């Protein structure tokens, strides 16, 4: 009996177009897939184990980590759509190298770099302004679709952890006018 890494097995099953993994549970691990589930080969036979390998990269495939950042309502000179690629660094982001360093610093095994604030978080009710950002693309081999705002202290901290990927904005306290003194 051979051992196959889980990711490779899942990729191989997806390539076979098996409708659900429950069908796999009912099949012994050593059983071969049905002949009708295996696509017909129209080329030379592949080397042993090649059917478990991911397909090779094609010339048009994205390589490395690539993100698109759309910033709105952050202010003049900060709003816009920016692209950043890391590993190697490229793109039209104003600080692509800094953005990549920040992303690398915030990436930890087993944690979503772009995770939203947990719903049960206790956050200060500080409004950080109307700025919003959406980050889409691929990071660390995973798809990204994250939305940022500055609606409370937790969201402001989440935004600030991603500076300079997201633009640095002034502190919320500085944006609130001081109350006139009654004395």
pLDDT in tens, 29-67: 444 444 444 444 444 555 554 444 444 444 444 556 999
pLDDT in tens, 6-30: 444 444 434 444 344 344 444 444 4
pTM of the predicted model, to two decimals? Answer: 0.61
Cα distance between the two ends of the chain: 85
Alpha-carbon gap, residue 69 to 166, rounded angstroms? 8
């Amino acid at each position: 009996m051979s051992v196959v890494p889980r990711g490779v097995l899942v990729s191989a099953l997806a390539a076979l177009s098996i409708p659900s993994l429950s069908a796999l549970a009912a099949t012994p691990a050593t059983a071969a897939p049905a002949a009708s589930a295996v696509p017909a080969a129209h080329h030379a036979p592949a080397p042993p184990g090649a059917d478990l390998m991911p397909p090779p990269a094609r010339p048009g495939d994205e390589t490395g980590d690539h993100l698109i950042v759309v910033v709105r309502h952050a202010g003049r000179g900060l709003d816009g759509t920016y692209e950043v690629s890391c590993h190697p660094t490229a793109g039209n982001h104003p600080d692509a190298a800094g953005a990549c360093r920040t992303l690398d610093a915030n990436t930890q095994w087993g944690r979503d770099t772009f995770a939203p604030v947990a719903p049960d978080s206790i956050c200060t009710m500080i409004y950080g302004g109307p700025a919003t950002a959406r980050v889409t693309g691929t990071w660390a081999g995973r798809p990204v679709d994250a939305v940022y705002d500055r609606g409370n202290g937790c969201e402001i901290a989440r935004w600030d952890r991603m500076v300079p990927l997201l633009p640095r904005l002034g502190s919320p306290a500085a944006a609130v006018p001081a109350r006139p003194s009654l004395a």
